[in-house]
Structure 1
């Protein structure tokens, strides 16, 4: 008889990459048996979803370019408006810092930018002033607006504790960051330009500063150096240097980077998140579909695992280390599709998933209550739920499992078996979800189910 896992083993599993896909697959199996609690699923629509995704890929990319679709990372959002802002930033450092410090700075930027990438709401925008890369002022919203706001704040040194080194993120700078500085950086006006979850974002960054101080094994490059997210580059590069090279590339395990993100940033999560043995698990939630009447109160068998922010950060950090430090990532296929509202919204807008009538009614009641709050526009009524609601948990789990199946279909239809999941997300599902949302709900361009953002769920 196999002994029951210890608490430490359970925590380690629930904070691992394999747990994400394995637990999502259990929920998908329940859907196949028509045992979901909150959604009905029409499996015949899966091929329609894949066809729609393929049609957009073919529209947006020449056939010869499809195999080279870039991965779905935070860096894509900085390029909005066909402007290579990251390249310009790197050029501004040329001759003054070495290649490794360039990547450290990019990782600094990526980490804070990912943490600030929770839903912004339908009314917030960020205005980019004219400069030598953008000749006229222009406003951006949602993920791109948040990315450009984080870039501007990074360049202004708002996240640095060293006035002589503005272009870095460090523990002292984050811990001393004021709410007013973040409000100013995001150009927030409560009446004219409100941003959802501003205080939640501020608290998240301050907790990041504390996490950096608690984990010098990842974030200290030397004894007296500032504690920075970017110093994880040295930790990871050492692994690559210590292992045999593959065709002149440094080979680093994807799990090693994910461990830095999961362990090194563990303290950023709000205290309300799921815990086991007083250890926060982060983006892990109980799921009704996996729970039975006989499930013990202290069981974790009905928990589903997402780590969406951590995977988004991992995908994003991998890119500059691969392109600029000659690192090859081993086991990258452990990363999953991201359970966020663009990918998940695609499944609902194309009829693959449908809220059960009782849940639809409950969500609309929530919408009405939320619409009565000051500053809430009463447009495009959609079911609305808290991030922890069982509806959202089930929706996200189905999104993870279904994205794997969409990727298989997309590869078949394009006859490109080596197209990665990160490429399918970038070239296909994320853009498809955004595009169909803009057609279905042209006023807000929001998802078919709204999540009440507190600035800490992604």
Structure 2
């Protein structure tokens, strides 16, 4: 009999990338055995989902472009409206900063933008005024709107404590960020333009500032220098293997993200032996009746925000520093409502009857609150509801299978999961949602967002 893992080993495992796929696969095995608690699964629909994704890829990309679909990262959202805003931003720095500082700045921007990317709700938009990049005024909702708002605030120096270095994010700038500055930056009007979880986002950024100060090994370049997310660039380059190409293990980057930002998570998140685990949740489909009270065998890690951030940080390293990532295939699909919604809208997953009724009761109760629009009724749940946990776990495991089907249908075995997500499942989830729920274009299951679940 093998010895029981120590508390430290258990925490290390649950905060690792392999644990995400491992535990999601265990939930999928329960689905195959007909033992899910909250969803019914029609496995015959898997190929239909893959075919729908492939049809959109073929529609949106020239056949010669498909092998070069860009990866699914936060930087894609800055390009909305076919405007390459990041290129314009980088061009504005040329001649004034070197390549390392350029990457530091892009990492700064990426980190805050990812952290601000929780669900915005159906009523909020961000208006981009005419400028030298976009000639006409236009409003953007959801992820793209949040991305452009974060980019605008970054350019205005709202996250910097140094008026002479506005294009940076630093710990003091975040810790001293006024709520009103964030409200103004997001163009929030509680009546006309309400944003879900504004105060939750504000607290998240303030906790980020605290986390940066707690981990100088990753985020400080020495005394009298600002403590910044972007300083992880220097740490990772120092930790790299040099040769014809600079090679960095994906585990090294993920470790910085998962441990360096550990303090951002609310105290309500799952803990084990007094240690916060972050985006890790108990899944009742994996809970054995005779399990001990302190068992973690039913804990399912997602680390969605951490993986989203990892995917996004990888890109400037690759394009500007010629870095090659080792073991990047450890990253999983992202368990968020576009990918997960695709599985429900195309019939692969269906809420069990009792859960559907419970979710609709939740919707009814929530719709009576001030400011809640009573349109497009969908089952509604809190982020920690067992329905949401099971849905997210099935999403992670199913995305691997969809990706394999997509590669087969396109005869492109080297297409990465990040490309399938971008090309891909995320767009397919959004497109089917806009057809199924044209008023809100929202997901088939609503999550009551507090600005901290991603």
Task: Indicate the TM-score class for this superposition, using the shorter chain for normalisation.
Answer: over 0.9
- SS in structure 2 of the partner of residue 351 of structure 1: coil
Structure 2 partner of 1:151: 151
- SS in structure 2 of the partner of residue 295 of structure 1: coil
Structure 2 partner of 1:50: 50
Determine the C-alpha separation between the residues in 2 that align with 1:211 and 1:35: 40
Determine the C-alpha separation between the residues in 1 that align with 2:349 and 2:315: 33
- SS in structure 2 of the partner of residue 403 of structure 1: helix
Determine the C-alpha separation between the residues in 1 that align with 2:223 and 2:98: 20
Structure 1 partner of 2:32: 32
**Offset from partner CA, 1:306-349 (integer Å, 9 cap, x none):** 00000000000000001100100000000000000000000000
List, as ranges, runs of 4+ consecutive aligned residues in structure 1 with deviation greater than 4 Å: none
Residue 411 (structure 1) aligned to one of 407, 410, 413:
407
* 1:323 counterpart = 2:312: no
* 1:164 counterpart = 2:164: yes
* 1:385 counterpart = 2:381: yes
Cα drift, residue 295 of structure 1: 1.2
* 1:301 counterpart = 2:289: no
Structure 1 partner of 2:288: 292
* 1:6 counterpart = 2:6: yes
Give me the CA root mean square deviation: 0.5
* 1:453 counterpart = 2:443: no
**Which segments of 5 or more consecutive residues in structure 2 lack a partner in the other structure?**
none
Cα drift, residue 21 of structure 1: 0.1
Residue 279 (structure 1) aligned to one of 270, 275, 281:
275
Equivalent residues, number: 454
Determine the C-alpha separation between the residues in 2 that align with 1:292 and 1:362: 24
Cα drift, residue 277 of structure 1: 1.4
Determine the C-alpha separation between the residues in 2 that align with 1:457 and 1:82: 28
* 1:117 counterpart = 2:133: no
Structure 1 length normalisation: TM-score? 0.99
**Offset from partner CA, 1:342-385 (integer Å, 9 cap, x none):** 00000000000000000000000000000000011100000000
Determine the C-alpha separation between the residues in 1 that align with 2:424 and 2:258: 27
Structure 1 partner of 2:430: 434
1:42-441 paired onto structure 2 within 5 Å: 42-240=42-240, 243-245=241-243, 248-441=244-437
Determine the C-alpha separation between the residues in 2 that align with 1:295 and 1:145: 45
- SS in structure 1 of the partner of residue 139 of structure 2: strand
Determine the C-alpha separation between the residues in 2 that align with 1:371 and 1:34: 34
**Which segments of 5 or more consecutive residues in structure 1 lack a partner in the other structure?**
none
- SS in structure 2 of the partner of residue 63 of structure 1: coil
Determine the C-alpha separation between the residues in 2 that align with 1:293 and 1:222: 52
**Offset from partner CA, 1:203-222 (integer Å, 9 cap, x none):** 00000000000000000012
Cα drift, residue 223 of structure 1: 2.2
Cα drift, residue 43 of structure 1: 0.2
Determine the C-alpha separation between the residues in 1 that align with 2:344 and 2:279: 22
Determine the C-alpha separation between the residues in 2 that align with 1:296 and 1:35: 21
Cα drift, residue 244 of structure 1: 4.1
- SS in structure 2 of the partner of residue 64 of structure 1: coil
